[in-house]
A = this chain, B = another copy of it.
Amino acid sequence: MSHNTFGHLFRVTTWGESHGPALGCVVDGCPPGIRFTLAEIQAELDRRRPGQSRFVTQRREPDQVKVLSGVVPDEADAEILITTGTPVSMMIENVDQRSKDYGEIARQYRPGHADYTYDIKYGIRDYRGGGRSSARETAARVAAGALARKVVPGMVVRGALVAMGTKEIDRANWNWDFIESADNPFFTPDPASVAVFTDYLDEVRKAGSSVGALIEIVAEGVPAGLGAPVYAKLDQDIASGLMSINAVKGVEIGDGFATARMTGEQNADEMRIGNDGKPLFLDNHAGGILGGISTGQPVVARFAVKPTSSILTPRRSVDVDGKDVDVRTKGRHDPCVGIRAVPIGEAMVACAIADHYLRHRGQTGRIA
């Protein structure tokens, strides 16, 4: 990964700040002949868009994506775009840039934010809206991920919020279909959890506080053989992608941290020849990856999102002049940034798998 690029053969470069005219991405290396519609990309963007419930920031951004290059319309149906194999540039214009006085924010280091580290690193900082650390950057990832989903035939990547602060879902109630329900502002797979999360988050929001969350991503239909044994492990590149999301502090694959407490007997995924004569795994502690290479089982990853540091409660900090200050973050902020991390996590997993699909095909030629 370069500073603003990820992937090797399916390469995504993102650019843009939340308070400039636009942001976007360039997807390079996309196979030719991939067919998609603008509506499909837009649908993914709409899933992470702010302003859709009282639990996410009220910034009003239509987040309309434009495809600027790398496609030709299908001759029979101009709605359908076909990739040509050249770079696909996508752009989202920023609309809701409320003019405001950045006086304090420009000079104070918000605790838990990157303000201080930016200044140390670059000696200059775009304090308007958090610069590159703005959650708006993730819109570009989601657009790229929408394309990545099309690269691996038959792959389905879905995500769910499985815990918020101290509240967890009940896995017995898991229902993938419920996640996209209109009554579900949380991407939770457990219908019973909606009321619990609603009450909990209302409380957090009213207190001007924030909470963390735990997200789970499952990729089904991933062919066996993707990844590599050492420094191009599929799990490693998924972990790298998820850790690159704002506010993520931990990543695990399959049973993850729980395996540290297990014995070899508990952790082994036993195999048998199935009725179709093909090898069958009897369990999936490994999360679909063994020795860095996909097994053909579902790929399972989880990541922890810290509570946003933008809270109303004053926190002790310092300013650029070397003076002590107390910082209280006003304005539009998500009480749980983890919610909108669900589609972002899906996008990063989809991109990592698409990249390895092409890399595997390149090295071995053992896949169509």
| Contact of B118 with A291 in the complex, beta carbons under 8 Å | yes
Interface 1/0 per residue, A180-221 and B, CB below 8 Å: 000000000000000000000000100001111110000000
Give the residues in chain B near A227, CB-CB below 8 Å: 117, 121
Q: Which partner residue on chain B sits nearest A229 by CB separation? A: B132
Chain A interface residue number, banded: 35 or more
| Contact of A264 with B307 in the complex, beta carbons under 8 Å | yes
| Contact of B253 with A249 in the complex, beta carbons under 8 Å | yes
Give the distance to chain B from A60, nearest Cβ to Cβ, in Å.
21
| Contact of A358 with B363 in the complex, beta carbons under 8 Å | yes
Q: A246 vs B116: C-alpha distance in the bound complex, in angstroms?
A: 36
User: Which 10 A-B residue pairs are closest in the complex by CB-CB distance?
Assistant: A114-B291, A362-B362, A250-B252, A117-B293, A210-B264, A259-B306, A250-B256, A32-B122, A264-B311, A121-B225
| Contact of B259 with A15 in the complex, beta carbons under 8 Å | no
Q: Does A260 touch B at the CB level, under 8 Å?
A: yes
| Contact of B84 with A338 in the complex, beta carbons under 8 Å | no
* Given pairs A114-B293, A118-B293, A121-B293, 6 additional interface contacts (CB within 8 A): A9-B362, A84-B131, A85-B364, A163-B261, A204-B263, A233-B244
On whether A268 and B112 interact (CB within 8 A), knowing A69-B17, A240-B240, the answer reads: yes
257-275 of chain A: CB within 8 A of chain B: 257-273
154-174 of chain A: CB within 8 A of chain B: 163, 165-166
